[in-house]
A = this chain, B = another copy of it.
């Protein structure tokens, strides 16, 4: 059988480094003119001219641009860094910078709020990818309320080869070329695993993806994301509250969003091999692009979704974090955590994508896994138990609002 790892590696294999730099240089020039300082502009211009002159001969071009200092200065990642530093980010900035600014603010806000709830500080690790991008991972482990909690941001600047583009074209009609394309991916991912088995695990992810034409202008873009709840013990009032809060954010923008994205969530977060969903759902959407709504409207929707996270979850964790529980109930939580691991490692496309991006930070990607998990052979709850009630709902998802 084809291994997922191998396939994803084929899709994502980086083109030769020098060649990549060549394209970056031309692109940076084209996209950079309106925002660059004139010094930066003339530097980029000279590089672009070298690129133009080198024509069809890649090896001649390689020699022309082999100065490592110039290479560093020319990438989109570096251009974006300079833009942020010199001009700040406002409504006129490229969407990727506005989205990045927004999720960085939200990360800070959410982490602060969770620290208030837990009483323990998150560990903050800032990291960089060798050729542009990086992230900030905030992880709290063995807290008072959370056994493990991660709130991460990551930014990837990379290259898609023709195979990957072909796979993506099916969903994005604006993608037309079959040559290699540069891409930009940015996202905030959060998973909170509470200690108390009565308190549900929650996951959230909002991301922005952009591909660029050879001249450096944006070619296709899309937003994706969602939030979903995974209880070990089901409290209907929690499920209703969580879904209701998400629905409010959806309804402000499009009345069809919640029903569509609720269904999508149940379908996506499914342990197909067990015939059960991971949890009691929420919303999920993989690619909201220009065919759905314009970028401004979709960005406004994403902002409302993310801002609604704390109101959707904080009342629940406050209600459940100090409830009494038995050893047997803790064991059931551990078994459910095993199922969580199964979904994330076997089915989740985000995890597969992350693990197969060269130079990715594995510890940030796998922060989604619980601190502890169990696999008990043939573990079957009693037919009329609360554990069985959860399974029934996971096997046949309910409408909560």
Q: Is the CB of A373 within 8 A of B376?
A: no
Chain A interface mostly: helix
Residues of B within 8 A of A370 (CB): 375
How many chain A residues touch B (CB < 8 A): the figure is 46
| Nearest neighbor of A345 in chain B, beta-carbon distance | B345
A346-390, CB < 8 A from B: 346-347, 349, 352-353, 355-356, 360, 362-363, 366-367, 369-378
Asked, given contacts A5-B346, A7-B2, A274-B362, whether A372 binds B371 with beta carbons under 8 Å apart, the answer is no
Which chain B residues border A148 with CB–CB below 8 Å?
Answer: 375, 377
Interface presence of A116 (CB below 8 A): no
- In A245-267, the 8 Å CB interface with B consists of none
Q: A176 near B: Cβ within 8 Å?
A: no
Q: How far is the CA of A363 from the CA of B2 in the complex (A)?
A: 23
B362 touches A371 (CB 8 A): no
CA distance in complex: A256, B273 (Å)? 39
In contact, A1 and B11 (Cβ under 8 angstroms) = yes
CA distance A326 to B101 in the complex (A): 46
A39 within 8 A of B: no
Is A338 located at the chain interface by the 8 A CB criterion? yes
Instruction: Determine the residue in chain B with the shortest Cβ distance to A7.
Output: B2
The distance from the CB of A169 to the nearest CB of chain B, in whole angstroms, is 13
Contact across chains for A352 and B167 when beta carbons are under 8 A apart: no
Give Cα A2 to B164, complex, Å: 9
